[in-house]
Structure 1
C-alpha cells in the first residue's frame, strides 16, 4: 500500500484517518506483535505530552525513572538486536546533548502506575502549523527520549520552513546537535529511536506513492518488535470514506 498525499485534504479529514490508523496499529500490536507483559493503548489526551500518542506500558513498572532505560522484569519475546538488527535507509548513533541545568527530565506514568516504555507519534498538520506548535512537538519528542522512552515518529507531511529537514531533522538537531539532511526526493519520514545515553535513530525517508516500511519499536536497548505500518495503513485506508479516498489518491483509489 503506497503512502498517499495527505496535503490534498484539510486537517479534519486527515484526523479521521489519523485516528483510525492509530487504533489499527494498537490492535495489531495487542493482537500478536507484542510479547507477553506489554500492551498498546491509544491515549486521547495526556497533560504533559498532549494528544496523538500511542503508548506502551509495563504492567509491573513502578519506582523512579531517571532518564536511563531501566531493566524490565520480562525480557522474553521480541527480536534480539544482536541476532537480527533492524534495518533502515539511514542509521545514526550519537550521544545525547544533556538537558540544560534546571530543566527537569520527564518521568511519565500512566494513571494506573503502569510504566511507559515506548511511544508512537503520528504527525498532524497542526504540529507544523506555527512556530509554537512545532517547537512544542519537537520538545515533547525530545523530552520523551531524554526520559528514556523509545519512540517512533511517523511524518506523512513534507517539510515546511520550520522543518526544512523534516521533523526528524529538527529532533536530531535538538537531541545531538548533529545535522540530518532530508532527501529532496523523499520528503516524508518514519523514524525509530532507541533511547539511552547514546540515542540510535533508524530513519526511512519516503515519498508519496512508495510502500510504507515497517518500523522497529524498541522495548529496551537489546530487543524490538516490528510495527506493521503498511498492513495497518491498508486496513485503515479500506474503511476510509470512498469519496475522500478518491481525493487523497488524486482520483485513483488505491
Structure 2
C-alpha cells in the first residue's frame, strides 16, 4: 500500500501578481515521492513529520492556490508509475539520473521530463568514524550503502582498490555497521547521517575528507504539466530567501562547515 497525504490551501494572500496565469487543472495534483525516510529532505515512511519537502509543497500550494496529494512508493515502482503518467509531479529528480547516452544513439530513450530549478542539494559523501576522517583510498576496505541506492562515484574505484561493497536495508543500518566496525564507511547523504545520529543517539560519524564527495541537486519534475512547472520554477527563482528559510527550518545544511 502506498502512503499519501493531502497538502491543502492554507492562504491565498501570498500569491504573486507577477506569476504566469495558471488555472489549477487538477484537484489535487498527485506528487510521487520515494517511500523512504530521507529526513530532513523528505520522509515517505512518516509523511506527517516535518521535512523540507513537506514545507516546500505547502509553500507552493499557498503561492499558487493549487492542491497537492503526496503519494509515497518504493523507488523502482515510483519511476515506473511516473513514466506511465500515474503522477503529475515527482520528487526528488535530476536530469543526470536519466542520461540519454547509449551505445546506439538511435535507440537511446529521450528524457521527456521538465525540471524545476534546483530546490535543495544532497551532500553525498562517505561517513566514517572520527578517527578515520583523513583515511585514504589505499586503507579503505568495506563500503556499505542502503538498498535502492547506487554508490556511482565508487564504481571506478572498487576493483582498482579491492573495496568490498555491502548493501543493507536502510541508511540507519549502514551507519550502525560503520559504528560497530563492520564497515569502513557508509555512502550516506550528510544531512541524513546527522539526522539519524541525533534521532538514534549513537556516535556521530564524520564526512571523510579524501573520499568521493558528490553534491547533487534535487529538482521537481513533470511530464505533462509544463504551465504548472513554469509557475513553480518562477516561484523558486523569485523567492530564494524563502527557500533558504525553509531549508534552515528543516535543518538542511547545503554547504559543509569549514
Normalising by the smaller structure, the TM-score range is under 0.3
Query: Which structure would you say has the larger Rg?
Result: 2
Q: TM-score, normalised by structure 2?
A: 0.27
Q: TM-score, normalised by structure 1?
A: 0.27
